[in-house]
Amino acid sequence: MKWVRICCLVISLTVIVCTSGAGAQPLPDYDKILQIHLKYQDSGYSVSALEVRYGKAPTLNIITGNLKGVILDTEGKELKSFSIKDPGIAQGDILGPPEGDSLIGYTEMPASGYVTITVPYLQDMQKFSLADTREGSILISADLTAPVAIFCTDYPYDPDCLARISPSKSSVPDSGLNFVLATVFSVSVIIAAGLAIITIRRITNVKMPKKQTVLIVDDEPDIIDLIYIFLNKKGYATLRASSGRECLDILKKQIPDLILLDVRMEPMDGWQTLEQIKKNSASMSIPVLMLTAKRLTAAEAKQYHLCIDDYIEKPFQSAEIYAAVDHILERKQKLKETLVLAKKAGVDKETFCEFARLTRRISVNKRIVDILQVPHQAIPTLSDLDTLDKMSVIDYITVKNRDHEKRAEQLRQMINSSFRSKGFPDFNW
């Protein structure tokens, strides 16, 4: 009697919790199917492929036909049988003249073709056979051991794969006690899951995914249109500005995820606009990608390397725009995700932000050095002075980068130490 009461208590708790949390949260879905791909030719059948996969099966009960499929278990017992129609019979109907009020028919019966039989996965399925009920002949017989084994190699912890492991191989010292403990534990897990669902629901507002927004700043409308087409195709939202001033006005109202900024504009050029963007605390953290037909000079590189995130030269290909925009925005997203983990791991915010700033700087500096090192083909005779300027700027940035890298490595080790203490994997960017 007391066991009954305990069970009632546990069940009541489960029902209360599960009822409160029931609703939109879908249950784990382990539905699987067996697909038997057959080739038929002149009334003979052969197996093309057998596959077990996740998925849902059609409603076999509604089909009647002259072929009978049977699934057998390891002991040869029938697990399921179903009817199948003769494959490949096409019944065509053409509307006849309205006054005749009758259809006109045509039939196609190709001598060969393919048929796929989709049935639900069954525990212990071992063999499939297909018979012709008119003649009582077996058309095909197939061993299902291999497709099931292949599936269970990829998904060894699927409940059906676990259940296939022979009970004799597992050590079960006291099945009675284990059963009770397993039951209690399972119920606890259900209750805990219910509580977790309720908690999560209370603190969560479902938000629609937000498109990432790119502000395109260029005084050439054709360039804006072209970049708009590129970015729109990849699912980005865009804002447009045809001058530096308009860009700054937009930033007063809206903060984009990235700015694509043309250098050669009038009256305020791209560098001046960049300075204003970086002066403003609301916009200073927005990544900026410079876009221009004008070559990056050593002086510009030295002056602005701290402020820009990449540099694309016109004319450009769509792939270059995608690569640069994707790189910057993915980096930003990765930063956001790692910051969430860092918070959980108890990493000091300043430490993490310093690390983030340094890694960004290292990456951008390397890119600028790459740009400066590429020989300029448009201007065949660079003056010695320019070359010297470039070399000194490259040296300057390279030395700076070495310092950044040392400090970033120190910070990385500190952050990873906190991550490891919480069981999070090391991050390596």
Partner 1 sequence: MTWFSGIGITGWILVIILVVSLTYTVSATPGANSVILVVKDARTRENLSGAQIYLDGMYRGDTSLADDEGMLVLQDVSPGTHTVRVTRSGFKEITRKFIYPAESIVEVTISKGFLVSLNPNGPAPHAINIIFYPSSTSYSCIDRAKVSTPLYLTNETRFREDVLNVINHTYLNLDQVASGSDPLPDNYRERFNFYYYYDPSSPADAFSGCAGSIPDSYWNDVTFSDVTVLLYPKYYGIYANLSCQPTGCYESFGPGRNLMKAPADQMTLIKHETGHAIFELIDTYCGTTYYTQNAPYPNVWASLESCRADAQSNHRDPEQCRQIQKKNSLSSASCIRNYWQWDPMPDIMASGYSGKFGAAATQRINYVLSQSGVG
3-state SS, residue 114: strand
H runs (alpha helix) in 135-206: 145-154, 159-164, 175-203
Is residue 10 a contact point for partner 1 (CB under 8 A)? yes
Is residue 333 a contact point for partner 1 (CB under 8 A)? yes
Nearest to 213 by CA among 247, 244, 252, 239: 239
Is residue 154 a contact point for partner 1 (CB under 8 A)? yes
Q: Is 90 exposed, middle or buried (0-12, 13-18, 19+ CB in 10 A)?
A: exposed
Is residue 340 a contact point for partner 1 (CB under 8 A)? yes
Q: Looking at residues 203 to 262 of the shown chain, list those that interact with partner 1 (rule: CB under 8 A).
A: 203-204, 207, 209-212, 235
> Which residue among 22, 104, 146, 198 contacts partner 1 (CB under 8 A)?
104
Is residue 385 a contact point for partner 1 (CB under 8 A)? no
Smallest separation, CB 114 to partner 1 (Å): 7
Is residue 349 a contact point for partner 1 (CB under 8 A)? no
Smallest separation, CB 358 to partner 1 (Å): 20
Is residue 107 a contact point for partner 1 (CB under 8 A)? yes
Tokens linked to 244: 């530096």
Residue whose pair of structure tokens reads 């009970």 in the numeric block: 167
Instruction: Give the per-residue contact string, 182-201, with partner 1 (x = CB under 8 A; - = no).
Output: --xx-xxx-xxx-xx---xx
> Which residue among 42, 157, 171, 380 contacts partner 1 (CB under 8 A)?
157
Secondary structure letter of residue 79 according to DSSP? E
**Nearer residue to partner 1 within complex by CB, 60 or 248:** 60
**ω into residue 267 within 30 of 0, thus cis?**
yes
Is residue 22 a contact partner of residue 194, using CB atoms and an 8 Å limit?
A: no
* E strand segments, 273-369: 288-292, 310-313
Q: Looking at residues 262 to 281 of the shown chain, list those that interact with partner 1 (rule: CB under 8 A).
A: none
**Nearer residue to partner 1 within complex by CB, 90 or 385:** 90
CA terminus-to-terminus distance, the chain: 61
Is residue 273 a contact partner of residue 247, using CB atoms and an 8 Å limit?
A: yes
Is residue 165 a contact point for partner 1 (CB under 8 A)? no
Instruction: Give the per-residue contact string, 108-137, with partner 1 (x = CB under 8 A; - = no).
Output: x----xxxxxxx------------------
Is residue 55 a contact point for partner 1 (CB under 8 A)? yes
> Which residue among 23, 76, 77, 102 contacts partner 1 (CB under 8 A)?
102
Q: Looking at residues 20 to 49 of the shown chain, list those that interact with partner 1 (rule: CB under 8 A).
A: 25-26, 28-30, 33, 35, 38
Is residue 94 a contact partner of residue 103, using CB atoms and an 8 Å limit?
A: yes
Distance (Å, whole) CA 245 – CA 216: 13
Phi, psi of 120 (to 5 degrees): -70, 145
Is residue 63 a contact point for partner 1 (CB under 8 A)? yes
> Which residue among 18, 84, 150, 293 contacts partner 1 (CB under 8 A)?
84
